[in-house]
Amino acid sequence: MLRVIALIVAMALAAPVLPANAQDMSGLSKQERAETLRFAVNNSLFTLYHEVAHLLIDKLSLPVLGKEEDAADHIATWVLLEKGTPEANQALEDAADGWVLTGARYGDYFGGDDYASGYSPDRHRAMQIICLMVGADRTAFRSIANAYDIPSERQHTCLYDYELINRSMDTLLARGNSGTRVDVTYHDGGTRLRLAERAFRGSGIFDEVAEELRRGYRLDGQVRFTARRCGESNAFYDPATTEIIFCYELMQDFMQLHLDQREQRSRN
């Protein structure tokens, strides 16, 4: 993760020479560019662990009671909490903030067919990340939970949420296995997505998560990690090809989400 932070700073310093039609950040300070890139990389990292969770649920036949999307969020949060580093904790904060901002972008609307979907409301997903954080370490994360207006009583019961997830993951995921074959491919993003592609490649998170999968699990067959243009802002796991696909449009969307938040704050 330290390599990721160093690359973010390097990319931030280089941003003014990037094509303006890719994603214009030339009007920002070096610190603002670094914060935008950090936010986008960290949200992308959480997304990758979320999709790896779907992969593990599929290939290891992990039991899921409830929504698989919620389970994947829980696994992604657990993986980052297990790292126990400031960088991983920051990634979780950024991911929670990302869900809050995404919900606000669409007016936190959740109705009609959404009630029958497999996805929880964006703000709920954010709060569950924070709940597991404060459940894992109330001393370290109490101030964050307070900032998200999670009541003290709920912060206390978050301990039981975390202990349940932690016990389940320790039981389900065997330790010490390795040998999964993972092939990582980056496709060209084109002119419009040049900065998004460069930021995603340069962060190194795709390769790092792939290497964690190689070293941490022994899955049958070959797993493919593919980064490409998709024509939509998305990332997903395809069980038919055992492939995790990350779309450059999603990286660009995360950058724009942070830029929009900065602009909104400057108006207020």
Q: Residue 67: which domain range?
A: 61-172
Asked if residue 261 and residue 195 are part of one domain, the reply reads yes
32-63 CB burial, b ≥16 within 10 A, e <16: bbbbbbbbbbbbbbbbbbbbbbbbbbebeebe
Asked whether residue 117 is assigned to any structural domain, the reply reads yes
Binned average pLDDT, 10 residues per bin, the chain of 268 residues: 47 40 63 93 98 96 93 97 96 96 74 72 94 97 96 96 94 78 97 95 97 93 97 97 98 94 77
Domain boundary among 154, 172, 190: 172
pLDDT score for 14: 46
Among 250, 249, 91, 246, smallest CA distance to 184 is for 246
Asked if residue 262 and residue 195 are part of one domain, the reply reads yes
CA 66, CA 49: separation in Å to the nearest integer?
19
Is residue 187 within 8 Å of residue 227, measured between CB atoms?
yes
| 3-state helix/strand/coil string of 110-144 | CCHHHHHCCCCCHHHHHHHHHHHHHHHCHHHHHHH
Asked whether residue 199 is assigned to any structural domain, the reply reads yes
pLDDT score for 109: 63
pLDDT score for 48: 98
pLDDT score for 162: 97
**Surface-to-core class of residue 22, CB atoms within 10 Å of its CB (0-12 exposed, 13-18 middle, 19+ buried):** buried
Q: How many domains in the chain?
A: 2
Asked if residue 125 and residue 75 are part of one domain, the reply reads yes
What are the strands, taking DSSP E only, across 112-242? 181-186, 222-228, 235-238
pLDDT score for 110: 66
Domain boundary among 142, 157, 172: 172
pLDDT score for 175: 61
Phi-psi region of 181 (alpha: psi -120 to 50; beta: other; left: phi over 0): beta
Q: Give, in order, the Cα–Cα distances in Å from 152 to each of 85, 145, 162, 191.
A: 25, 9, 16, 49
DSSP-derived letter for residue 27 is: T
Among 249, 244, 257, smallest CA distance to 190 is for 249
Q: What is the pTM of this model?
A: 0.89
- Measure CA of the first residue to CA of the last residue in the chain; give whole Å: 34
Asked if residue 230 and residue 254 are part of one domain, the reply reads yes
